Amino acid sequence: MENLKAIWSKFLALKLWQKGLVVLLVYVLFSAVTGFGSSSDSPESSSSSSAQVKRSYPVKYLRHAVINPASISVAFQVKNDGTRPIKPSCKIKMQDASGTYKGYDFVDFLEEIAPNQSKEAVVQLTITKEGAEFADQFIGECSATTSDTGTNAGKEVVISDIEDASWGDDQYELDENKEFPEDAGFWYGPTFKVNQPRMTQMDCSWTAFDKNGKVVGTHSFRANTLNDGSVTSYGPDEKWYVDSTERIVKSVKSYDVKCTL
């Protein structure tokens, strides 16, 4: 009788062990199929990916030229005022004031535009009713899909190596009357460098002081950086210096310079 009880106890223990093994196996299979207990579905993981949105970027008209009565070429510029590289897509349109003569086309940038930098492009447009010579109003829209919501616009950059670059009496020889020639000119302004890569555009301003710290003059201009960080004026209508007189040029002793993105 005792042997029969022992055999029955071992039989029940074996059944319970097998039942537990089956339950464990089912749990493993269920977890593998549904991802139950996986950290990838946790709120922290799902919220870590940034949403992609369509963001607009500043567009600037540069110039246009009539090719023939029905077409014109248009040069424009796009600035990346964000904090990450982009490849924008643009819709460029030219028309006259009444909208009678108009044309548009799309431009996709294949190369990235780095933050704080601008790139130019040229597009050829077909103008309706052969009115190319009348289409003189520019409309440009550029955008890119990005998760970037930041901007560097207005950020002040680091200025270094400020030097007086005034031009005047030392560069001209006096004539027989010990006077400067009639075409002699005088201007003043500083040269300097910034901590920005090549082709970064900025708004710069400087103030000139005399030996007593009195303001001699101020000037603002649109600027661009060269390979070594040196700054020059950007565009045909911008100058980094000021035309002046011999007396004022000679009075300048120091400069204060500021540039913002």
Q: Which residues contact 141 (CB under 8 A, 6 or more apart)?
A: 56, 59, 90, 91
pLDDT tens digit string along 209-228? 999 999 999 999 999 999 89
The two tokens of residue 87 are: 């490849």
**207-216 CB burial, b ≥16 within 10 A, e <16:** ebbeeeeeeb
With bands split at pLDDT 50, 70 and 90, how would you rate the model's confidence at 167?
Answer: confident
More confident residue, 9 or 78: 78
More confident residue, 211 or 27: 211
Counting residues of the chain whose pLDDT is more than 90, the rounded percentage is: 61
Its pTM stands at 0.61
Return d(Cα 77, Cα 100) in angstroms, integer: 26
Query: Span 69-95, mean pLDDT?
Result: 96
pLDDT score of 245: 85
With bands split at pLDDT 50, 70 and 90, how would you rate the model's confidence at 20?
Answer: low
Q: What is the phi-psi region of residue 232: left when phi exceeds 0, alpha when psi lies from -120 to 50, beta otherwise? A: beta
* Bridge partners of residue 146, in order along the sequence: 53
pLDDT tens digit string along 136-156? 999 999 999 999 999 988 889
Return d(Cα 258, Cα 13) in angstroms, integer: 85
pLDDT score of 181: 56
Query: Residue 30 pLDDT more than 90?
Result: no
Q: What is the phi-psi region of residue 22: left when phi exceeds 0, alpha when psi lies from -120 to 50, beta otherwise? A: alpha
Q: Which single residue is written with the structure tokens 């900025």? A: 202
Q: Which single residue is written with the structure tokens 């897509």? A: 89
Q: Is the sign of the CA dihedral 243, 248, 254, 260 positive or negative?
A: negative
With bands split at pLDDT 50, 70 and 90, how would you rate the model's confidence at 10?
Answer: low
Query: Span 102-119, mean pLDDT?
Result: 94
Query: Span 71-92, mean pLDDT?
Result: 95
pLDDT, averaged across the chain: 82
Q: Which single residue is written with the structure tokens 């310079």? A: 257
Return d(Cα 114, Cα 234) in angstroms, integer: 18
Return d(Cα 215, Cα 146) in angstroms, integer: 45
pLDDT score of 246: 82
With bands split at pLDDT 50, 70 and 90, how would you rate the model's confidence at 203?
Answer: very high
pLDDT score of 157: 94
